[in-house]
Structure 1
Amino acid sequence: MAKLTVYNIRVCAVVTIAAFSYGFGASVFVTSVGQPGFFEYYKLDPQSLHTADILSAINATFFAGCGIGALLQCWAADRVGRRGALAIAAAFSLVGSALVAGSVHIAMLSVMRVIQGIGLGMLLALVPLYLTEVAPPKHRGVLTGSTQFSTGIGYIICSFGSIGCYHATNRTLSWRLPLALACVGPLGLLIGLLFVPGDLENTTQEASKLTKCSESPRYLIWQGKREEAWDVLKRLHHDPANLSESDAGAEFTQIMRQVELDKEDKFTFLKMFQKPSWRRRSMLAMALLFAQQGSGVYGLVNFFPLSVSSLGLTGDVPLILYACLVTAATIAIAFAMWMVDRFGRRALLLTGFASVACVLFIAALLQWKYQGSSNKAGKEACIFSIFLFIVVFQCIDAPTFVWASEIFPTGIRAKGVSLALFSYFVGVVTFSTPAASALQTIKWGMIMIYAGFCVIFFIFTYLYIPETKGLPIEEIGALFGDSVAVHLTSDGDGIVEEKQNEFQIENSATVAGEKV
């Protein structure tokens, strides 16, 4: 079976800068809202319902931009390749982030966040798409799951940086500097795509020099560039203990034959909803990513500083608690990444939806009991319940991105991921837009609604989501009724059909010899 190599990890580390960029860019507005200077500059009352409506609108338009970006990435990914699309998205994000940082009016800020969202939405969709196509089957969950881990790192750095900015004597700088720092991630990605350190396990001069970040081998085969794809696969899965490179050869053969089989179909959005097996995959991926947002994670996390303020905690305490919250979430993601390849996507999703529903019911009851009271222990319990929520939510977060990215054939994978991530951002807008107002009006009732959605989505996952753990992505189509050209052997070093033919030939030769 193909191993996880140093070069594979380095390439993935470069690409996940895109997810880091999204995490920083998405969270930077949350931390800016927590700065007094933000409200002073834009002349907003942080306690008014009018301000809550404005913040909800800006939040919604940003994620609407992300949804547009998620759809646009499939055009770029199929036209110029996964690597080229990442460069386009990074440039778009860089320009958008700079314009957000320079916004002088609340209306300008809202529009610029849309532009920034388009670039960041493209980036978030491209990361799992790329990682799925370069990862070995046994490690696909942890590599693709690193999308969310890198997003979490972006949240952490942004939140702790904003704490430092809170104490700046210049109140405008305290919220504008974090917005400007959102440019760093996209710029770093553009630089990283130009070169990546070679595979240090291979000590030859050619293999260890700085090279461009590899294009997806599956995209290259789809474009008929087989020699280039073979070179990429050898570098990605180079194993000094396997000089024959049989695992890379077997994967190359499987990809090539599956692509030849798949090319008999047309690859359009319309065809994705006409062909039953593709329609099922598209609908399930869209439903699962939408369901993820039904937990209310963006609504509860993005407005966490405001929720904490409503409990009577002021100053930099809401920002510190927010930083601790996203740190706890990112640590939990690391455990989820480890578990997704061991226990499976389906098992983690079922555990996640059930656990989140229970935690949200408890959180709602605590908010009902203690919000607005002077009970210190009760307020601490309310805060702890949100921390517990974000930890158990990671059982949902990582597997959804992994599952939705790996179930599509190469020809429609970019389109499938686009639809899934578009649905994801529709879910973000649907469930988080009313959060700021709802948390001030119906309060704990909104959390109870989120808990009810989780119960519904647990049932949905149990009935309709199949397990994909450990399967080569060319073989996942069988779960949905598609034909598989060839199958890899259990050790990943050969093709099952070829082994069977060799066995039949040997048997025939033996029988013929016995007759003679």
Structure 2
Amino acid sequence: MVATSRYNLSIVLFVALSSLTYGYAFSVFSTSIGQPGFYKYFNLSTTGPRASYTNSILGAINALFSAGAAFGALSIAWLPDWLGRKWTIIIAGTISLIGGALTTGSVNIPMIVVVRFLQGIGVGQCITITPIYLSEVAPPHRRGLLAGQNAVGLVTGYFLSSWVGYGTYFATNETFAWRFPISLSCLFPLILLVGSPWIPESPRWLLWKDRVDEAWAITERLHHDPSDSTQLLAREEFFQMRSQIEYDRTQDLSMWYMFKKPSLRRRILLGCGVLLGGQACGPLVINNYGVILYQGLGMSGSLPLLMYAIYVVVGASVNIIAAFIMDKVGRRPLFFIGFLGTTVVMTCETALVATYAGSDNKGGNAAAVFFLFLFVAVYGLCVDNTAFVYCAEIFPTMYRAKGMALGLFVYYTGSIAFLTPAATAMQNIGWKFYLVFLCCSFVAFVLAYFFVPETARLSLEEISGLFGDNVIVNLTTATEEEKKKIDEVIGEKSVTLVSHREHAED
């Protein structure tokens, strides 16, 4: 196994600020709509004849943000392949910073709607490029842990926004109470931009561009093993990457070809399926309208914000655990448990909301809150983190950006369908809205059972074999004799790479 170096870990954690940028910017609005000052400033009302107008405005703001994120995600189909993974991160951070600053300074409804769209473009790029980059710099046996920091960063953003929102609820200046949390969405992309000169480029992208020496220098530093002076395992991995990319570059790299070739088309369906399936369980609606949900269960004042903050703590905690167990447990078991678990939990939640929402039954409402917490525990532990990692790792290097872009585009397009009518649906049909998520969870479980192959502990190049593609160098299944031949080839064909045997002879 290639060791996980401190340098590799530090790079991963820093780049995860990009996903934190998305998580904070996405969820901060859910705390803003829990602040009385927000409604006063924009002349909105949650009761009376103007309540429907308010719900339509909230739906529009969330929908335009998701639309921006969808377009931002789609742009990743070309930017990382054209400019590189590193420069794409810089562009995404810049747009996120500008969008956050303009959202902070919004003075009317039309402005906040438009600039949330701009911010959505930036953070949509952030959340799409991050898993691509992390999966490409992580060693195979730690890819779940390291690429999983994408979702950890995401939920950390949720965590920070929820507690900042709860704290500012007690501010004497009501405008500050909702505007200050939004202003902090500028902090994380700013830190990312300041530190971006020290982010190394993805070695796989460099190999694609024939910058072999640069790619090896970065690979050696990322996967440096102090116990092996020859760095044989890193050299073997580099040889595998280089051989596969030299073969893959002969393929048609167009988006259209991805839909024509069966193995790539299957990847598209799987990548889009796991992301959309996870989203269709209801996490974005519960997160974005969590404060309103708690208010519907009889809570008032600062309590809905507090409950939302605690809810996010649970979600963040289990996402961290998911990153640690993903490589050991595997992707398939986590999907099975997650989708079946959310189906059961959402069934119980639907029954409780149908029976007790709007009533004075404290026990029934408390049980409904408990199942909301149980939902995020099951979803965060089994589905959330796993879906992002899975979508990023199933595509070959030459198609990874396009595949991830398509997956996140579908993800955000789906979120528009769920988030836009959510506020109105919760007001008009109540518990029946939960039936949508219940049914979607069950369908996702069935589809995952029959169609999702296991990818854990395989290198990105070896995963191609699961879809019937040619794997040029397979280190996982190679026998000792085959590995010796691979080491000999490394020594014979690469000036940059020197085999273990040649070092030993010296």
Provide TM-score, normalisation by structure 2. 0.93
The residue correspondences of 1:111-130 to structure 2 (distance < 5 A) are 111-130=114-133
- Size of the alignment, in residue pairs? 485
Mean alpha-carbon deviation: is it higher for 309-318 or for 35-44?
Answer: 309-318
Who is 2:226 aligned against? 240
Measured against aligned partners, the alpha-carbon deviations of 1:26-74 in whole angstroms (never above 9, x if no partner) come to 0111111110000000010123122112101110110110010001123
Contact 1:258 1:485 in 2 (8 A): yes
Who is 1:344 aligned against? 330
Who is 2:295 aligned against? 309
How far has the Cα of 1:433 moved from its partner? 2.1
1:291 to 277, 283, 302: 277
The residue correspondences of 1:313-328 to structure 2 (distance < 5 A) are 313-328=299-314
Contact 2:72 2:125 in 1 (8 A): yes
Who is 2:397 aligned against? 410
- The list of structure 1 runs, each at least 4 consecutive aligned residues, that deviate by more than 3 angstroms after superposition, is 489-497, 499-502
How far has the Cα of 1:369 moved from its partner? 1.1
Who is 2:493 aligned against? none
Determine whether 1:140 maps to 2:133: no
Distance 1:192 1:332, change over 3 A: same
2:407 to 417, 420, 438: 420
Determine whether 1:73 maps to 2:110: no
**Equivalent AA in structure 2 for residue 401 of structure 1:** F
Measured against aligned partners, the alpha-carbon deviations of 1:173-198 in whole angstroms (never above 9, x if no partner) come to 1101111111001101101212xxxx
Who is 1:258 aligned against? 244
Measured against aligned partners, the alpha-carbon deviations of 1:214-249 in whole angstroms (never above 9, x if no partner) come to 110100100100000000011001111011110111
Who is 2:254 aligned against? 268
Paired with 1:137 and 1:119, the residues of 2 have a C-alpha distance of 29
Who is 1:22 aligned against? 22
SS at match of 1:183: helix
The residue correspondences of 1:430-441 to structure 2 (distance < 5 A) are 430-441=417-428
Measured against aligned partners, the alpha-carbon deviations of 1:299-325 in whole angstroms (never above 9, x if no partner) come to 122101011112221111111111000
Who is 1:219 aligned against? 205
How far has the Cα of 1:436 moved from its partner? 1.2
Paired with 2:406 and 2:314, the residues of 1 have a C-alpha distance of 30
How far has the Cα of 1:496 moved from its partner? 3.7
Who is 2:180 aligned against? 177
Identity %: 40
Mean alpha-carbon deviation: is it higher for 241-250 or for 68-77?
Answer: 68-77
Who is 2:67 aligned against? 64
Contact 2:200 2:218 in 1 (8 A): yes
Distance 1:93 1:492, change over 3 A: farther
How far has the Cα of 1:495 moved from its partner? 6.3
Distance 1:170 1:420, change over 3 A: same
Paired with 1:100 and 1:267, the residues of 2 have a C-alpha distance of 38
Mean alpha-carbon deviation: is it higher for 33-42 or for 67-76?
Answer: 67-76
Q: Cα RMSD over matched residues?
A: 1.6
1:486 to 473, 477, 480: 473
Determine whether 1:391 maps to 2:374: no
Paired with 1:407 and 1:161, the residues of 2 have a C-alpha distance of 37
For structure 1, the residue ranges without an aligned partner over 5 or more in a row are 195-211, 503-516
Determine whether 1:190 maps to 2:193: yes
**Equivalent AA in structure 2 for residue 93 of structure 1:** S
SS at match of 1:248: helix
Contact 1:96 1:119 in 2 (8 A): yes
For structure 2, the residue ranges without an aligned partner over 5 or more in a row are 490-506
Who is 2:495 aligned against? none
Contact 1:466 1:479 in 2 (8 A): yes
Measured against aligned partners, the alpha-carbon deviations of 1:435-470 in whole angstroms (never above 9, x if no partner) come to 211111111111122111111111111111100010
Measured against aligned partners, the alpha-carbon deviations of 1:97-122 in whole angstroms (never above 9, x if no partner) come to 00111111111100000000000000
Who is 1:514 aligned against? none
Contact 2:27 2:287 in 1 (8 A): no
Paired with 1:230 and 1:243, the residues of 2 have a C-alpha distance of 16
Mean alpha-carbon deviation: is it higher for 227-236 or for 438-447?
Answer: 438-447
Contact 1:250 1:492 in 2 (8 A): no
Who is 2:459 aligned against? 472
Determine whether 1:380 maps to 2:366: yes
Contact 2:298 2:359 in 1 (8 A): no
How far has the Cα of 1:271 moved from its partner? 0.8
How far has the Cα of 1:501 moved from its partner? 8.3
**Equivalent AA in structure 2 for residue 96 of structure 1:** G
Paired with 2:486 and 2:221, the residues of 1 have a C-alpha distance of 26
**Equivalent AA in structure 2 for residue 72 of structure 1:** S
Distance 1:500 1:38, change over 3 A: closer
Contact 2:77 2:406 in 1 (8 A): no
Contact 1:247 1:494 in 2 (8 A): no
Mean alpha-carbon deviation: is it higher for 374-383 or for 127-136?
Answer: 374-383
Measured against aligned partners, the alpha-carbon deviations of 1:340-399 in whole angstroms (never above 9, x if no partner) come to 111111110011000000000000111011111111111111111100111101111111
How far has the Cα of 1:267 moved from its partner? 0.6
Provide TM-score, normalisation by structure 1. 0.92
**Equivalent AA in structure 2 for residue 69 of structure 1:** G
